[in-house]
Amino acid sequence: MAVITPVQPDLPQVKPESASEKPKFPPNLPVAHISNISHQKIIEGNVDEISKVIKSARDIGFFRVDLRDSKIGRRFLAAADNMFALAEDVFDLPAETKLADSFLNHGDALLGYKGLGASVVDKDGTRDNNEQYWIGCGDIDGNGRSRAIYNDVIKNKMNQLRDFIELGKTVTDRFLWIFSAILGLTPEDGDYLTKLYSHSNNSGSHVRLLKCPPKPKNAQINLQPHTDWGMLTVLFNVLGGLQIYMPEHLIGPGEEAGWKYVKPEPGMAIFNLGDAFVKWSDGELKSTIHRVAPPPGDQANWTRYSLAYFTRPDHDVLLKPLGRKMLPSVADAEYPTFKEWALRRAMAGRSDSFKQGDWEKGQGTETVMSGQARLAV
């Protein structure tokens, strides 16, 4: 199988992302108005705060969580800082070291290193502008081994990685409790949401490190428009660039539908729902299409790092309506497993084998309206 050699842009060296030194997010940009959720209030079971989460999940599938107001949240933020430091060290390694762990060499594991330009960002096959490292939670916890080999920098930080995913699981499981209640699932049910994923090699759950180098002016996309494939994503970023496609019924007076920045806020993580929730809720919960554009304003001159904890269903979990959404009329219908869903989407976006029609094959759970956002610039 061919390995894509990173395409290095002809750009000056710049500083990596730093919260204390980076330029401020520019004012007066079109931003998405998403809810800010208190993590401590979620822990306490505050009804009003839980209602905000439910409304966000039904409307747009995105919300921020303020992790500064809880003890475990502050530990999660500190663990995320360690992951940002790891990302800088990992991506500074020589290209040959990183490519030795290319995900293209690992079959259907979908773990390891993704080089610059190894995926496409549009229907014309334009290559992306990011490097990624996908580190499997099963590999981190030692519950089996994937085909990813990882380098010594990553291996030497396994304790920090383990701390990060354990905190991530504790934080996200509280939200999965809320979404289970929406679906009418109880802890005794086999489909209770916290039972549908694991930190094992039977699951695609992973830590993702991402680096976007600066791009020339007028470049539009670093990471393609997409919906996330799995359950719940927890994203940490300092520089702007994340954009979501806001439909007309969710914008404010005088605003236009289209791409809106999600402004990073100190001490907050961005949570978003993936395709699995759309399938399990029969469309009641949303997975909104989003992309990564170059950082705005003076931030565009900086390297953009981001970090995500992805919870993904176990490979054999079916993407079918669950709980109160499961009707007898569809009980015998055929549904894809999560692994089938993930492989279809992943393989369609590879630049080394991309051909006409592959872009459409990679579609997730976008509605017709937001599906148009995959073509919008």
Give the pLDDT confidence of 125-173 residue by residue, as tens digits. 888 888 999 999 999 998 777 889 999 999 999 999 999 999 999 999 9
Least reliable range by pLDDT among 214-223, 272-281, 358-367: 358-367
* Residue 118, amino acid: A
Kindly give, in sequence order, each residue whose CB lies less than 8 Å from that of residue 14, ignoring residues fewer than 6 positions away.
214, 301, 302, 303
- Across the range 294-321, mean pLDDT stands at 94
pTM: 0.89
pLDDT grade for 216, boundaries at 50, 70 and 90: low
Per-residue pLDDT for 281 more than 50? yes
Q: Bigger pLDDT: 110 or 133?
A: 133
For 104, 117, 283, 342, the CA distances from 274, given in Å and listed in that order, are 24, 24, 12, 11
**pLDDT score, position 190:** 95
What would the two tokens of residue 158 be? Answer: 């396994």
* pLDDT one-digit tens code per residue, 79-97: 999 999 999 999 999 999 9
Q: pLDDT value at position 126? A: 80
- Those residues whose C-beta lies under 8 Å from the C-beta of residue 374, and which sit 6 or more positions away, are 122, 123, 224, 225, 226, 289, 359, 363, 366
pLDDT for res 2: 34
Residue 5, pLDDT > 60, answer no
* Percent of the chain residues topping a pLDDT of 90: 64
Least confident of 120-124, 214-218, 269-273: 214-218
Q: Tell whether the model's pLDDT for residue 372 goes beyond 60.
A: no
Strands (E), 145-205: none
The model's confidence at residue 272, banded by pLDDT at 50, 70 and 90, is very high
Average pLDDT of span 65-85: 98
Over residues 317-363, the pLDDT tens digits come to 999 999 999 877 666 678 999 999 988 887 766 666 667 776 676 67
| Better-scored residue on pLDDT, 57 or 5 | 57
Computed on alpha carbons and rounded to an integer, the radius of gyration of the chain in Å comes to: 20
Specify whether the CB–CB gap between 64 and 52 falls below 8 A. Answer: no
Q: What is the structure's pLDDT at 351?
A: 67
222 pLDDT higher than 70: yes
pLDDT band with cut points at 50, 70 and 90 for residue 4 = very low
